[in-house]
Structure 1
């Protein structure tokens, strides 16, 4: 046995690690993808119990552990045997915590807004197994393997679980440790890059989407094919679900569901299993892409959740959230919610999927409630009948599901873009003109967003230029202005424009004649300029203002030039503040 074979797993990992140098902190590369792996088992005395957290030193609060335990098992499980996969999203408790993964926020700056690393929530990706086992007191083996991550990579992590969970259930902890060691060698997720991720003798190949990708484009999926043996498992997307499969029973209502998501309306998805519930919630929250869904969402939610009381109280309006549930008890406790989507197992009507009906909320009373959308909501826009016809014809012609999903996704993308482009044009007009930016004055302010002024632009530059759908677009915009999605979009755009102004101001300073400016200025004014320029430099670096490094260096040289023109005692003070 050689020295490396005798070494511990971490030493072997460091020696074998490809790509960039080892992370400065243990498990840094692992944490770039996954915070921890949990194993939840069913204990006859305790119920769901946390059997294992890996890495062992990862800190989950007791509240988080309890929530993960309940969210990792199907609620009111029907007794079916076998394996099932689903996802949940969990609010972090216990305040901010440090992670061994440190990237200075680079990932979030370069990733699409819809795929940013979450700061206040964890995603849980679950692989649950229930099989008969006479050696267990209850006669069943019931266990879940859960990947806990800040990244909404549902497709990647569920595919990863399909590889590792069956192996883990057979071989237990040593297998899990080996897999985690392999993940700790992966390169970090860098937007725009296609990565090869080896695990258990398989290479998963994925492309990490980037903010500069053209929406709706399909970048080349495979590369380096001939060098990889065996051939890699190529995932077409890290995060995209099969939209068509998720929405089959509600295709004729896709317009209504898009509007409800756009407006951030509270919605309950009642489903027969956590798989259906979590996929439907994730599909719903993805229909606005590339616009970010800024409300809360819980792909799977149980009566044991710490927010249960908050969501079921009738003393206040339901929060802006989409909640996926499976327990029939929720029919009673969430009856006051304004929009309830009840989906069952898919049924066919001839060769077409049976479509659910829109029903009055008052009819949602009995426990054997039929599938349907229980709401009194009236859509602002008319249905796109041509889209529905194309999709239904595609079913009859046995068109592949991925082609149907691409059609649906393109339609939703074009609809969202038609809605958002007039807002983008208007907000761009609020930016001060470049000629108004002068070096020695603070940059001018971005003009305020006036809803009525925006509405006046719609007659000539509204959605009708790019969208054939008719309806009350103005009414839809007015409702949108009251939603968290408008607030989130506006804050993001305002922040980007403020950074752009900062960058233009720094460029203007670099092009100015500093010596000429200083001639008739007092020492107080010159010192004031030095302090302001220093503050600008710090802000530009901390907030990652989109300005060239060369510009920042020139501003630094300007500061040195200005200080050099001052008396020595002042120079000493400014050099050593």
Structure 2
């Protein structure tokens, strides 16, 4: 499949893409904001890859794009397995709408990745009627949809061969370090990469990740160049060629097919980067990174007990997921508390002044706070927690988390200020005010009301209605000439 970015319009769709009336739009016209087209590529032993079908048929694809799609669709190996297949799509959302339909995106919003997990059905699942072409069918895209999180996978099975180095991997992911996962198959590389992106929950993963990367991907040169440092990225690969081209990456996890050694699969050992060989590289965690925290043996004991009791993999995954969740939560909670302390007190918010500002974030102030409230005081895991915090504050995950918190706090202040205004006695306030001050108040209140609707602020409909009545009452107190300007209808 060839994916398009947000804002893409398919040829023949009504102006504005998804902006036409529901009755005049086909389901594909709506979905084209997410997907450019679907391509079916076949492989001929004599001719090679060939594009057999493109849907919608009127989509224009350049020869360069056709060649790229055909290369990327080439299977890494023969697979005769039957049943459903799950694919993970990552859609890079552009900052604004494209001006040209096939123009290359030069920038995209890395803070807003969209991830879908879809099931590709077999031919037996299809009915004789084509639902896409049925204009009378209810459009499922007109309603909110819950998309199952891709990280809800079998965590234990995905990470079973790296459990002894889980603490180290957790730190690398938390700090947004560049990490390559070299695996024998796309399935294994994808599962490990996706499992690692979810191991820092409830903290959102803000770096980039590629579960299965090939030499035909457009970022190949960017990721293999030695002229600049590798980006903050989790990269899953299978081609042995990458052992040479990615040798300069600081952290490389090489895994093989899981082999049982007692109750657990044979565990990946920690190895120095100098041991990484281009030919016949053995499985191992190749890195010079020294973890800040000591290994936590508690979770390994729990997993071994579970294996001895023959607990199902889903239960072992729950144990592992809870351990990682609590570890990340204990790490980020003190920073959350510090951010909360930067919020102005509700009593300092008044209706007749702009809302107070959030106090600026001070790293050293946070570090002093962490000395008395950090997880090192109650956690059973020992180590250099303060050093880990200092490194984390330079990571993309902290940057993304901090920006999100800033937005949330600003929105909370906006909401509180609006609530105070709704409860204020505006009629009393305007008694001794000039016409200029009153008109200025009307404009500010209208702006507040507009932003409340646009930002979907959590303010009750009753409060917003009361604010609208306040605005009308204030306008009615003005001379008729001003009323006609402010209330033209």
Q: Same fold (TM over 0.5)?
A: yes
Out of 182, 185, 200, the residue aligned to residue 273 of structure 1 is 185
Please identify, of 43-52 and 179-188, the stretch whose mean Cα deviation from structure 2 is larger: 179-188
Q: So what's the TM-score if we normalise by structure 1?
A: 0.72
Q: Is 1:74 aligned to residue 75 of structure 2?
A: yes
Q: Is 1:39 aligned to residue 3 of structure 2?
A: no
Whole-Å Cα distance in 2 between the matches of residues 82 and 91 of structure 1?
28
Contact 1:29-1:187 within 8 A present in 2 as well = no
Counting only pairs closer than 5 Å after superposition, residues 71-470 of structure 1 correspond to structure 2 as 71-75=72-76, 77=77, 79=78, 81-82=80-81, 85=85, 87=87, 89-90=89-90, 92=92, 150-153=114-117, 157=118, 160-161=119-120, 164-165=121-122, 167=124, 177=130, 188-191=143-146, 239-464=151-376, 467-470=379-382
Q: CA deviation at 1:342?
A: 0.7
Map Cα deviations across residues 228-266 of structure 1 (whole Å, 9 max, x no partner): xxxxxxxxx775110000001001111111111110001
Whole-Å Cα distance in 2 between the matches of residues 406 and 82 of structure 1?
28
Contact 2:88-2:116 within 8 A present in 1 as well = no
Contact 1:30-1:184 within 8 A present in 2 as well = no
Higher strand share: 1
Contact 1:63-1:93 within 8 A present in 2 as well = no
Please identify, of 350-359 and 61-70, the stretch whose mean Cα deviation from structure 2 is larger: 61-70
Counterpart in 2 of 1:231? none
Contact 1:272-1:344 within 8 A present in 2 as well = yes
Whole-Å Cα distance in 2 between the matches of residues 177 and 74 of structure 1?
28
Please identify, of 419-428 and 53-62, the stretch whose mean Cα deviation from structure 2 is larger: 53-62
Whole-Å Cα distance in 2 between the matches of residues 452 and 59 of structure 1?
55
Q: CA deviation at 1:29?
A: 11
For structure 2, list consecutive stretches of 5 or more residues without a partner in the other structure.
Answer: 1-20, 99-107
Whole-Å Cα distance in 2 between the matches of residues 280 and 501 of structure 1?
40
Q: 1:432 to 1:554 in 2, by over 3 A?
A: same
Q: So what's the TM-score if we normalise by structure 2?
A: 0.84
Whole-Å Cα distance in 1 between the matches of residues 23 and 249 of structure 2?
47
Out of 538, 542, 546, the residue aligned to residue 458 of structure 2 is 546
Counterpart in 2 of 1:52? 53
Q: Is 1:25 aligned to residue 25 of structure 2?
A: yes
Contact 1:89-1:121 within 8 A present in 2 as well = no
Q: 1:306 to 1:443 in 2, by over 3 A?
A: same
Contact 2:268-2:283 within 8 A present in 1 as well = yes
Q: CA deviation at 1:500?
A: 0.7
Contact 1:41-1:51 within 8 A present in 2 as well = yes
Q: CA deviation at 1:190?
A: 4.1
Q: 1:567 to 1:485 in 2, by over 3 A?
A: same
Q: CA deviation at 1:515?
A: 1.5
What secondary structure is seen at the aligned counterpart in 2 of 1:422?
A: helix
Contact 2:94-2:109 within 8 A present in 1 as well = no
Q: 1:325 to 1:432 in 2, by over 3 A?
A: same
Q: CA deviation at 1:367?
A: 2.5
Q: CA deviation at 1:314?
A: 0.2
Whole-Å Cα distance in 2 between the matches of residues 72 and 484 of structure 1?
32
Q: 1:175 to 1:344 in 2, by over 3 A?
A: farther
Please identify, of 38-47 and 502-511, the stretch whose mean Cα deviation from structure 2 is larger: 38-47
Contact 2:93-2:109 within 8 A present in 1 as well = no
Contact 2:159-2:192 within 8 A present in 1 as well = yes
Whole-Å Cα distance in 2 between the matches of residues 22 and 44 of structure 1?
46
Counterpart in 2 of 1:114? none
Contact 1:89-1:297 within 8 A present in 2 as well = no
Please identify, of 482-491 and 237-246, the stretch whose mean Cα deviation from structure 2 is larger: 237-246
Counterpart in 2 of 1:575? 487
Counterpart in 2 of 1:474? 386
Out of 486, 491, 495, the residue aligned to residue 407 of structure 2 is 495
Q: CA deviation at 1:67?
A: 5.1
Counterpart in 1 of 2:11? none
Counterpart in 2 of 1:139? none
Whole-Å Cα distance in 1 between the matches of residues 394 and 30 of structure 2?
40
